[in-house]
Amino acid sequence: MPTLAVALQDQDPGYLRIVAALWGLDLRRGSAAMLAGELSRAMLDPGLLSEIIDGLPPLAYAALEAVQRNEGRLPLADLTRKYGPLRQMGPGRRDREQPWRNGPSALEALWYRGLIARSFLDTPAGPQEFGYIPDDLLAQLPATEAGPETITPKPATQLEQVWPTADWAVDDLVTLLAALRRRPPAANSLSAERVEGLVPFLHQPTSIQLLVSCLVEKGVLPGDKLKPDPEAVRELLDSNRCDILDRLRRTWTGTKRWNDLAHIPHLRVAQGGWPNDPLVSRQAILEFLGQVAPGEWWDLAGFIQSVEDIRPFFQRPAGAFDSWYLQDTRTGAFLRGLGHWHAVEGALIHGLITGPLHWLGMADLGSTGSDGPIVAFRLTPAFAALSRPVSFSPPSTPEIGAQVILRPDGLITVPRLAPPVVRYQIARFCAWEARGSEVYQYRLTPDSLRAASEQGLQVGHARAILSSASETELPQSLSRALDRWAERGTEARLERLLVFRVGQAAVLEELRTNRATNRFVREVLGPTSACVAERDWRKLCEAAARLGILIEPPGHSSGEAP
């Protein structure tokens, strides 16, 4: 930081004479540079400096200590909030109002004594104005016993429900990649319908967009469509589970593509783009979390309050609480001003801990009741691992008993802890049936084999994958089924048909003989009943209505696999 003489040179002679008067000094006439040099030499006298500091008001002394503890500088916005204001005045107004005499704030008491200066300094978020103690003056100050202010959350107690984190992100990543490889979306994002179709097969459905963002960031989903790159997928999934999860964590912590603030459900931008720097916001919160002990339960609200007390401007370097046009979708209110800190910054901290940190295995969550809100968190050892070198490779999760099970009827059970690349390959050429807490179930079908063939995966590949994964020969029935499909294709198909019944045989005869309806009538089951394809029932009802015959529609729903 600049010396005292340099800091004083930037001020007008009137200000320098105010400082001198408060120090009991008489300055000679001369240029600002001469006055600054004379004043700084006098102010650095240890005896006089000690006398001035001892005479400071208590709050002004606390402000000076706060700056001193933080290596001699603090963001001016933080200083102003706790110890301000520091009123901006030109020389004329300053001389008329004499703020150093008329109710000065603690910060103004320091400012008009020359004990603190202000300057713009470079930060990761760009230039930011700081209040600082000049270097030579800082060296003369008596040492403080306390260190910089730190986050001091309250311990959490009486938790009745705990949600421990796990490595589910790896499982959901494999599921997502397999689904995208089978059927890439037409756009560069997942539609709500596609996500809904994936939900039954995901452990953490709300994390799906974060996984997409991380995969795009790492080039696994390149281009303008979410189509996996085969080589990048193979390189990623050939790693052990711990290493894959570690890569996801590091990708999230270092990306600007994913904006945690933009994924707070009740926030939206009223105009323009999101005003925060995602990386600055995230790194600041991770820095705060690094000050709390892992392995212990902490009160979440208390942690958020501690951040507000220490660094409320952590994502707004200039203290821009009136220039961000954010809106609360629950109330329609515009969240401008420091009074909405908890609705924006507080919600961001809450969302980051209960979202990405939990999803990626770095924070357990707790509640005081089974249906109550999350009120506590506990950092896992994985959080501390973020500070280790990128080359850090944790040991692989044991995969004991992770052998794939093949049944003669075509059902394939894949344990959750099977190698990720194995389940990815199986999910590419099998129909998806169910997900349990520790297993996934798939089934060989003609349609799934045809889809695999369209992806370039032949029957021989499927046979080799299944045999290797199960460490056994394929059941004879499955082996024969694969051979028959390779030779003949689909030999049989189950088709969903609806049965419709009429009150009189003449009605069915009319439907069968009329050109508008006969193409929808399939197999006749009897004088008053016949079949219609499920996809055609609506057309049959419409065509029959035009003939004056009303048909009661079925009560059913349909959907498609993810």
Strand 128-132 and strand 117-121: pairing? antiparallel
In this predicted structure, the answer to whether residue 558 has a pLDDT above a threshold of 50 is: no
What is the C-alpha separation between 320 and 336, in angstroms, rounded?
A: 9
In this predicted structure, the answer to whether residue 58 has a pLDDT above a threshold of 70 is: yes
Query: Tokens for 100?
Result: 């150093």
Query: If 0-12 CB within 10 Å is exposed, 13-18 middle and 19+ buried, where does residue 314 land?
Result: buried
Give the other-Cβ count within 10 Å of 387's Cβ.
Answer: 9
Strand order of the β-sheet with 73-75 is: 73-75, 128-132, 117-121
With cut-offs at 50, 70 and 90, classify the pLDDT of residue 475: confident
Given the structure tokens 């520091």, which residue do they identify? 86
With cut-offs at 50, 70 and 90, classify the pLDDT of residue 488: low
- Give the pLDDT score at 311: 86
Nearest to 341 by CA among 317, 313, 299, 318: 313
The top-scoring range by mean pLDDT among 72-76, 148-152, 188-192, 241-245 is 241-245
C-beta separation of 348 from 260 below 8 A: yes
Please list, in sequence order, all residues whose beta carbon lies within 8 angstroms of the beta carbon of residue 285, skipping any fewer than 6 positions away.
307, 314, 348, 349, 352
The tens digit of pLDDT for each residue in 315-348 reads 886 667 778 889 999 999 999 888 899 999 999 9
- Encode 110-169 in three state secondary structure: HHCCCCCEEEEECCCCCCEEEEECCHHHHHHCCCCCCCCCCCCCCECCCCCEEECCCCHH
Half-sphere exposure of 102 (CA within 13 A, CB side): 7
* Average pLDDT of the residues in 388-400: 50
- Give the pLDDT score at 487: 65
In this predicted structure, the answer to whether residue 490 has a pLDDT above a threshold of 60 is: no
DSSP 337-391: SGGGHIIIIIHHHHHHIIIIIHHTTSEEEEESSTTSPEEEEEE-HHHHHTTS-TT
The tens digit of pLDDT for each residue in 405-455 reads 888 878 889 999 999 999 999 998 888 989 999 999 998 877 777 776 776
Strands (E), 410-534: 411-415, 431-435, 439-443, 497-501, 524-526, 529-533
Q: Which has the higher per-residue pLDDT, 31 or 88?
A: 88
* Average pLDDT of the residues in 250-278: 92
- Give the pLDDT score at 496: 76
Given the structure tokens 């000049």, which residue do they identify? 134
Nearest to 345 by CA among 304, 381, 297: 304
Given the structure tokens 């609806």, which residue do they identify? 498
Half-sphere exposure of 45 (CA within 13 A, CB side): 12
- Give the pLDDT score at 535: 84
Q: Which residues is 299 bridged to in the sheet?
A: 376
C-beta separation of 111 from 86 below 8 A: yes
pLDDT, the chain, mean:
86
The tens digit of pLDDT for each residue in 156-200 reads 888 889 999 999 999 999 999 999 998 888 888 888 889 999 999
What is the C-alpha separation between 512 and 520, in angstroms, rounded?
A: 9
- Residue 242 is which amino acid? C
C-beta separation of 296 from 303 below 8 A: no
- Give the pLDDT score at 88: 86
* Average pLDDT of the residues in 216-228: 89
Radius of gyration of the chain (CA): 35
With cut-offs at 50, 70 and 90, classify the pLDDT of residue 135: very high
* Average pLDDT of the residues in 507-532: 89
Q: Which residues is 132 bridged to in the sheet?
A: 73, 117
pTM of the model: 0.74
Strands (E), 135-273: 161-163, 267-269
In this predicted structure, the answer to whether residue 286 has a pLDDT above a threshold of 90 is: yes
C-beta separation of 129 from 75 below 8 A: yes
Query: Tokens for 541?
Result: 């009802």
Q: What is the CA angle 29-30-34, rounded to 5?
A: 120
In this predicted structure, the answer to whether residue 559 has a pLDDT above a threshold of 50 is: no
What is the C-alpha separation between 326 and 179, in angstroms, rounded?
A: 35
Q: Which residues is 376 bridged to in the sheet?
A: 299, 366
With cut-offs at 50, 70 and 90, classify the pLDDT of residue 379: very high
Query: If 0-12 CB within 10 Å is exposed, 13-18 middle and 19+ buried, where does residue 226 land?
Result: buried
* Average pLDDT of the residues in 460-481: 80
Strand 497-501 and strand 524-526: pairing? unpaired
What is the C-alpha separation between 53 and 74, in angstroms, rounded?
A: 19
Instruction: Output b/e per residue, 40-79; b: 16+ Cβ within 10 A.
Output: bebbbeeeebeebbeebeeebbebbbbbbebebbbbbbbb
Q: Give percent of the chain with pLDDT exceeding 70.
A: 91
What is the C-alpha separation between 276 and 325, in angstroms, rounded?
A: 11
- 264 vs 159, 259, 271, 333, 347, CA distance in Å? 25, 9, 17, 15, 7
- Give the pLDDT score at 482: 75
- Give the pLDDT score at 393: 47
With cut-offs at 50, 70 and 90, classify the pLDDT of residue 494: low
Given the structure tokens 């009160």, which residue do they identify? 299
CA 552 to chain centroid = 48
What is the C-alpha separation between 297 and 155, in angstroms, rounded?
A: 6
- 408 vs 2, 137, 463, 476, 519, CA distance in Å? 80, 83, 14, 7, 39
CA 297 to chain centroid = 22
